[in-house]
Structure 1
C-alpha cells in the first residue's frame, strides 16, 4: 500500500503504508522511547495525535495484550522508520489505525524540535495521486488545533468502576481523564482500592465514596478546556487529600488559580531528568505531555516540587499546608524507568493527613 504524511506547512513525505487503509488527522508528535510501542499506542494521552517513534525499528518483540494501557489503540496514526513484524501491522489493522514506514523520521524529528508540533494528515491507500494530496493539504490547514478539541470525553470511563483489593489499606477515587492502566495497577498492588469515575463526576459524588484521597489522572488535550473538572477540584481542596499525574498536575495548578501553556514540542519519552527541589535528588522519568504549568502564575501557598533539568519547566507542585501534591511525569512508567514508583506510596500516605 502507498502512504503519505502531509504537514500543514506543506511538507509531504511518501512512504509505505501498513495497518488500516484510511486517512486521519491530528497533531504530529514524537517520542524518544526505545521500547514500548504497544504502551505508547494504547496510552489515552495520545488521543488526537499522530505518534512518531524516533527509534528506527518497531515491532521487534510482537504485541501482547498484557502491555495495553487502555482497551485499545488511542493514537490516531503511527509513523515509523521500519516495521519489523507482521504482528504490529495486524495490531493496527485490528483497531483501524493507519501507519506509514520507509520515511525519514530523523528529518521529521529535527523539524518538530526546531519548528514545534504541527497539524498533519496520514493517508494509507492503494493509490494516492497528487490531486488528492493537494486536497488533503487544504483539509490539514483547516483542521482544528488540539486546544480546540474536547478529547477527554472520548477516553474517559463512561461509568464508575471499582477495583477491589484484599487487605485494603486505603481507598482512592480516581478521576479518569484518560488514565493509563498501570496507574491503577500501581495502586492496587499496594492494597489501595481504586474507584475509577468519569472525568465529569461532581465533587459531592466523589465525596460520597468517602475516599482517603482523590487522584486526578493523565489524559489528552488542553487542560484549560476542562472547566467542570477544575471547578470540582476547587471544591475538593481543603476537604480531602488530592494528588495528580500529568494532566492532573496541570488541572490542580489551574484549580489553584495558576496558568498553563502549550509547549513547543513537549516532553515525550523515557529519559527525562527531573530534580526534587526538597531533597536535590535527580530521577530519570517517563513523560508524555504537550502543556506545562507556568511557575510564576502559582499562588504563594503552592510551591514547585520538581523541575525538568533539560529546560527547567515545572514537573510537580505541592501545597505548603494542605495534603496535596502532583507530578507532571509518569511514576507508573510503561514504558520508561521505575525511578519514581515510590510516589504511589506517598499518595497512599496522604490518608494519614486527612
Structure 2
C-alpha cells in the first residue's frame, strides 16, 4: 500500500513567486488577485502578522513569514499600524507556509484572507518558507514578483522579465508615497487589555512628529507620556515645524532608501539641529539623522526583520530583545567625531543607535514601540520625554 499524494501537491498552483534570477516558486493564492513587484524579505516574529503587514516601512516589500502558522488569530481593526488604513500602506505581498485557518481568538473580527483582499495584499501559502529564507540568507533580499491568479493562468516569462527589470529599493524614495497628506493631531493613547485605546485628556509638552511612514504605536507611546503630538508630512520645512513651537521633534520610521528620502529631509533635519530642541529618531529617522550629522548609510545583505533581535545599549550596559525592520543601516565607521554609537546589534555588530555628544539628540535603528514584539526598549520614549522635561525644569521620569 502506498501513501496517497496530498491533494495540495497535485493542485494547479494559483500563486507564483518569481525571483529576478528566474527562480519560480509555486503555491496557493489568497488575499488579493493580481501581481506586485517588490523586494522579498523574511520576518522571524512569532506574533503580530497584522501589525507587520500594515507597517509602512514594508512598502515595496513582500514579507516571508518564517513562523509557519499565520492567520490563526484572525484580523481586527485595532491591530493596524499605518495612519491611513484606506490608503493601505504597508507590505504589498505575503508568503506563508501553512494554509490560513479559521480564526480562533476572542479579538478576531474577521478572517485574514478577507482582510488581505480588502487591503489589496497579494499572498500565497504552501511554500517551503525555510528553503526560501535560506535562499535569501545566501543570496540576499531578492527583487521578485508575487502573482495570484485564481484560475492558475500565468505568463511566467513576463513575470520573470518584470522581476529582472525592477531596479530595487536602492535610490527609491518611498516616504513620499506613505507620508501624511496634511498635518494632524494625534490623541490616541496605548492599548489596555480589555479596554482598548483611550483618548488623551491633557498634555504637558508638544512634540512634532515628521511622518516618513510612522507607526501608530509610536505616537500612542508619546501621547501616553503626556505629549501633545502634531504629525506633519515628510516634506514639511524646518521653518514650518519651528513655527509650531515644539518642545521636542520626532523623526519617524519609514520605507525606502534613506539617501533618496534624505535629499529633501536631511536639509530640514540639519536646520532643526541648529536649535536646542530635543530630537529623537527611529529606523529611517535614525538613518537620516546619521546622514545629516555626516554619516553614511548602506544597503544590507538581507536586512533585519523580526521581533527577537538582541541589541546592546552601551549607555546602560544592558542587552534588550527588540523588534527590527530595516534593509539599510548606518555605517558606524562613517560616524564623525562628536557622534557616539549608543546601541549595537549582537547578531552582526551593525549600528543600532547614535547620540550627539553634549546635545539632546539621539536615535535608534530598532523599533522600541514594538507592535509586534517585546517591550524591552519602551524606556527610550521616556529618555526622549526626559530631555524635554529637563529643558522645562521638570523632574525626570524613571526610565525603567
SS of 1:65 mapped into structure 2: coil
1:335 is matched with: 372
* Alignment partners' CA distance in 1, 2:121 and 2:336: 43
Q: Is the 8 A contact 2:31 2:121 kept in 1?
A: yes
What is the CA distance between 1:163 and its match in structure 2? 2.1
**How far does the alpha carbon of each residue in 1:295-331 deviate from its partner, in whole angstroms, 9 at most, with x for none?**
1111111010000111111000001111100011111
Q: How does 1:26-37 map to 2 (within 5 A)?
A: 26-37=38-49
1:136 is matched with: 159
Give the structure-2-normalised TM-score: 0.86
What is the CA distance between 1:148 and its match in structure 2? 3.3
Give the structure-1-normalised TM-score: 0.97
* Alignment partners' CA distance in 2, 1:120 and 1:168: 46
1:85 to 101, 105, 108: 101
1:97 to 118, 121, 126: 121
SS of 1:108 mapped into structure 2: helix
Aligned-CA RMSD value: 1.3
Higher-Rg member (1/2)? 2
**How far does the alpha carbon of each residue in 1:9-29 deviate from its partner, in whole angstroms, 9 at most, with x for none?**
111111110011101110001
Q: Is the 8 A contact 2:92 2:120 kept in 1?
A: no
Gapped regions of structure 1 (runs ≥ 5): none
**How far does the alpha carbon of each residue in 1:92-148 deviate from its partner, in whole angstroms, 9 at most, with x for none?**
111122111101111000000111000000111134457x10111011101121123
2:249 is matched with: 214
* Alignment partners' CA distance in 1, 2:338 and 2:273: 13
| 1:318 matches 2:355 | yes
Identify, as 1 or 2, the structure richer in strand. 1
1:245 is matched with: 282
Q: Is the 8 A contact 1:27 1:117 kept in 2?
A: yes
Gapped regions of structure 2 (runs ≥ 5): 1-12, 103-110, 188-199, 392-400
Q: Structure 1 residues 72-81 or 306-315, which shifts more?
A: 72-81
2:37 is matched with: 25
Q: Is the 8 A contact 1:30 1:51 kept in 2?
A: yes
Q: Is the 8 A contact 1:81 1:101 kept in 2?
A: yes
What is the CA distance between 1:238 and its match in structure 2? 3.3
SS of 1:305 mapped into structure 2: strand
* Alignment partners' CA distance in 2, 1:173 and 1:233: 13
Q: Is the 8 A contact 1:212 1:350 kept in 2?
A: no
Runs of 4+ in 1 over 6 A off after TM superposition: none
* Alignment partners' CA distance in 2, 1:44 and 1:129: 31
